[in-house]
Structure 1
Amino acid sequence: MSQLEDWLALTAIPQVGGVKVSRLLQHGTPTQLRAMSTDQLMSLGLSRSQIALFRVPHQARIDRCLMWAEQNDNTILTLDSPYYPTLLKQIAAAPPVLFVCGQVEYLSAPQLAIVGSRAASIDGRESAYDFAGALVAGNYVVTSGLALGVDGQAHSGALKHGGATLAVLGSGLSQIYPARHRGLAAKIKEQGALVSEFWPDEKPRPQNFPRRNRVISGLSVGVLVIEAAEKSGSLITARYALEQGREVFALPGSIRHPESRGCNALIKSGAKLVETPVDIFEEVGALTECAINSQLSQTLPQGEDQQLPFPALLATVGNEATPVDVVAERSEQPVHEVMMQLLELELLGFVTSVPGGYIKTRRGKS
């Protein structure tokens, strides 16, 4: 068997979850584990029946999986793959295998997750759409769970604004759920990727979605929750994010709205209250710099005589703090575009962020 087949055989062992797989991998690669004696594997916690299925798995199922991977845009990533996302690899019980349909390179790009209620209000759906547009303008990939409501609007907002988005599923990638989002999933595949730790033919099951949620947060540097009931999957994602050391953001809502109680509770527990995308960028700006710095170094001219970038916008920033909305008004540009340009100007040393907005640096003065 190939090394990939060894990985699949390991993940196919019955009643062996992510935690147990992680412990097994501390003792060797799947190929090395399969070469161990029965006594050695039993000492690692496997039963005789599990060992038998590890050594002689259901080959037809593995063959179907390998055939799936041969189709265009389909990829199987293992923990030792160079394309396996570093952030996700760092979480407890990281998925040993990821199935990806689309552009696999986006899994390693800086990501911000947007999650929320399936029964979101009009305001909640609009907020998800608008925030996603602003985040992709800041060179983040927007990650969510393809669910109805907030998730779907977050994916759509990212796509509409020309950005990339990842959809993490609680089913196999041949079993798109919900069915209503099959068309959206097809668009995501072209402008991002569909991701799952479940085998392609796995149907959506209730127990899959908490596992899906830990992958959403694990891939991301932060999670924005937009409308969530007191007991909801979105709060599970937020809890995973905290456990994984990720930033948690929440939009406040009316105390009379049941779908706002979860967000309000998160804020009371320490999540950052968010009113504009700038509130998010203030917390994760260093990662934004990592995301766009390489692009800037390749596209901007070098030398002392280079022209000032975005001169019209730069002219609206002075020696006193200028809020982003004022810069947008003066330059007659959308806020999300202004934020992107200000971030690039800050990286280049033309402006600097201060309490209350931005000021021009010496380099930015003509």
Structure 2
Amino acid sequence: MQRDELAAWLRLEMTPGVGRGTARRLLAAFGLPQQVFSQPPAALGRVVGAGQLDALQSEPQGWTEQVERTWRWLLEPDEGTSRRVFTLADADYPPSLLQTADPPLLLYASGMAVAAWPAAIAVVGSRNPTPQGELNARQFSRSFAQSGLTVVSGLALGVDGAAHEGALEGAAPGQLATIAVVGTGLDRVYPRQHLSLAHRIAHHGLLLSEYPLGMGPLAENFPQRNRIISALAQGTLVVEAALQSGSLITARLAAEQGREVFAIPGSIHSPQSRGCHALLKQGAKLVETAQDVLEELAPAAVARPALAEEAPATPLLQAMGFEPVGIDALVARTGTATSTLQAELLELELQGLVARLAGGLFQRVSQG
């Protein structure tokens, strides 16, 4: 990414009153952020309201400083790690996240380089688990990593930390062991007790955040990041959770995203088991061993890497990946006009390389 491109994305994200939904509409209408900001007011006014139009024509407060901070961060990774900012226009933006209702405009990453997003399982639960719950999280996650799955969690105290630790223990050398989706900027570590753990994840996994550098641990950010945790995984395992728990938010989001939800039962007398029991009543799958989860997710774990390794035939096919994608997303990724994309998609469809799906979606078809 060039600095001027990064600056345009940050300006779009930082513009007051322009949220993610409005930003996506602007990208769909005009292409990349640099093109958005080159539009005359009349054109922008057809997409946004008067207040948003005024905001788009002014530089956001602190924008220049944020560009400089982010650019320096990208150029100065820790030894043995890499740093990157994924945008909605990147062909290698996580495809499972792209297909959710509210994908982040920017996704900051620090850690191992990602050639293809791995098959993964989210493991979440209480910040104050029972000793058995913490042990379960660690042992299950170790087994998942040994079976080739990447463990996704949120770097919180309790179950999250145990899940990351177990995955790091079970992963093979060079394997992306675990992904920590955090609720702060990646230049911060929260909680501070996990500073060493975050460092190890950066060398054997990946730290991800949608929040800009400098963002502290605001309470409202943590429920928001849960949609990313659930979207990156084929399923979500809740180890222990009280009835009023962020883990239940993650499980609900996973179900809404069409992912599997698993729960470990516990004592009827334990408050930390009530959230899992509520999920089981709602249709979550009861699991007693890691194998119970692996039997459900093994087909996805086997099939996905094979698809990701296939070489694309054209730039458009490369931008599509292998997940269903809409025309608006392709416009944002490629910067190509809608009419041109429609013609190219029709040609690829006639060649049998692209399939047209319900809901205006397209999907690349594997030839191997």
CA contact (8 A) 1:34 1:54 kept: no
Instruction: Specify the structure having the higher radius of gyration (Cα).
Output: 1
Q: Whole-Å Cα distance in 1 between the matches of residues 227 and 156 of structure 2?
A: 15
Contact 1:106 1:192 in 2 (8 A): no
| Counterpart amino acid of residue 4 in structure 1 | L
Equivalent in the alignment of 2:328? none
Identical columns (%): 41
Q: Structure 1: which 5+ residue stretches go unaligned?
A: 296-366
Check whether the contact 2:14–2:60 (CA below 8 A) recurs between aligned residues: no
Which one is further off, 240-249 or 114-123? 240-249
- The equivalent residue for 1:23 is 25
Bigger drift between 61-70 and 39-48 goes to 39-48
For residue 72 of structure 2, what is the aligned residue in structure 1?
A: 67
Distance 1:292 1:88, change over 3 A: closer
Specify the SS of the correspondent of 2:114: helix
Q: 1:54 to 1:20 in 2, by over 3 A?
A: farther
Q: Which residue of 1 aligns with 2:342?
A: none
**Per-residue deviation, residues 224-276 of structure 1 (Å, max 9, x unmatched):** 00111111110111111111111111111111111111110001001111111
Indicate the structure whose relative CO is greater, using CA pairs within 8 Å and at least 6 residues apart.
2
Return closer, same or farther for 1:259/1:56 CA change in 2, 3 Å cut-off: closer
Partner of residue 37 from structure 2, selected from 34, 39, 51: 34
State TM-score, norm by structure 2: 0.76
Q: How many correspondences in the alignment? A: 295
**Distance in 2 of aligned mates of 1:286 and 1:293:** 12
- Give per-residue Cα distances to partners, 1:84-112, cap 9 Å, x unaligned: 11111111121111101111317711111
Deviation, structure 1 residue 56: 8.8
Say if 2:90 is the partner of 1:81: yes
Q: Residues 89-128 of structure 1: matches in 2 within 5 Å?
A: 89-105=98-114, 108-128=117-137
- Of 69-78 and 131-140, more deviation after overlay is shown by 69-78
In 1, Cα distance between equivalents of 2:60 and 2:158: 44
**1:7 maps to 2:20:** no
Shift of 1:82: 3.0
- In 1, Cα distance between equivalents of 2:9 and 2:194: 30
Secondary structure in 2 matching 1:26: helix
Match of 2:265 among 217, 237, 252: 252
What is the alpha-carbon distance in structure 1 between the residues aligned to residue 194 and residue 302 of structure 2? 33
Q: What residue number does 1:184 align with?
A: 197
Q: What RMSD in Å do the two structures reach over aligned CA positions?
A: 2.0
What is the Cα deviation at residue 294 of structure 1? 8.7
Conservation of the 8 A alpha-carbon contact between 1:221 and 1:246: yes
**1:49-101 deviations in Å (ceiling 9; x for gaps):** 32123589721221111111111222111112233111111111211111011
- Cross-structure match for 1:276: 289
Question: Which stretches in structure 2 are left out of the alignment for 5+ residues?
Answer: 309-368
Q: Where do 1:75-224 residues align within 5 Å?
A: 75-105=84-114, 108-163=117-172, 164-224=177-237
Distance 1:138 1:31, change over 3 A: same
Q: Is the 8 A contact 1:144 1:154 kept in 2?
A: yes
Q: 1:57 to 1:206 in 2, by over 3 A?
A: closer
Do the aligned partners of residues 293 and 59 (structure 1) sit closer, same or farther apart at CA in structure 2, a change above 3 Å counting? closer
